[in-house]
Amino acid sequence: MSVALHEQPYLESWRWMSRQIRCATSPDEPRLIEHYLAEGRYLACCTATSPWMISETAFRLLLDTARDVALPWHWRNLCLDQAWRPLRDLEQQSNCRCRLRRWQSHAWALATCALEPSISLTELEQGFPDE
């Protein structure tokens, strides 16, 4: 059996968890982020999946989720608090100038990320109250 066959279920699980994080389907379950990052570490060390791709994807997911004003504030805050972990992995994998520049741009994005307030539930309602 090839490595790709073993990799597929873990990759699918990792992608499924990323959708749950990005859409905040379980915003009161902070362990989801830890499970997602652990699944990514497994993919990076035990399959043919690129460790750089795993770390960069995880970092972007967490930062994009943190910036999404339509999601609950506490979830966004948690994602921002955890974004350093894949960024640290990227730094360890920055073994050429192009990767080092990409890591630096990601580090700058994290350092300068200012969260806007989340949209309130009443603002999410569509239409006008007199309709």
pTM score, whole prediction: 0.86
Residue 84 forms part of a structural domain: yes
Residue 111 forms part of a structural domain: yes
Its domain, for residue 99, covers: 3-115
Residue 123 forms part of a structural domain: no
Domain tally, the chain: 1
Residue 126 forms part of a structural domain: no
| Residue 52 C-beta-side C-alpha neighbours within 13 Å | 11
pLDDT in tens, 7-46: 788 899 999 999 999 999 999 999 999 999 999 999 999 8
59 neighbors 106 (Cβ within 8 angstroms): yes
pLDDT in tens, 56-103: 999 999 999 999 999 999 999 999 999 999 999 999 999 999 999 999
Tokens of 28: 């009161």
The distance of Cα 97 from the centroid of its chain, to the nearest Å, equals 24
Residue 131 forms part of a structural domain: no
Residue 121 forms part of a structural domain: no
Report which of 93, 19, 16, 108 is spatially closest to residue 53, judged by C-alpha positions: 93
Residue 120 forms part of a structural domain: no
Residues 6 or more apart whose CB falls under 8 angstroms from that of 116 comprise 67, 69
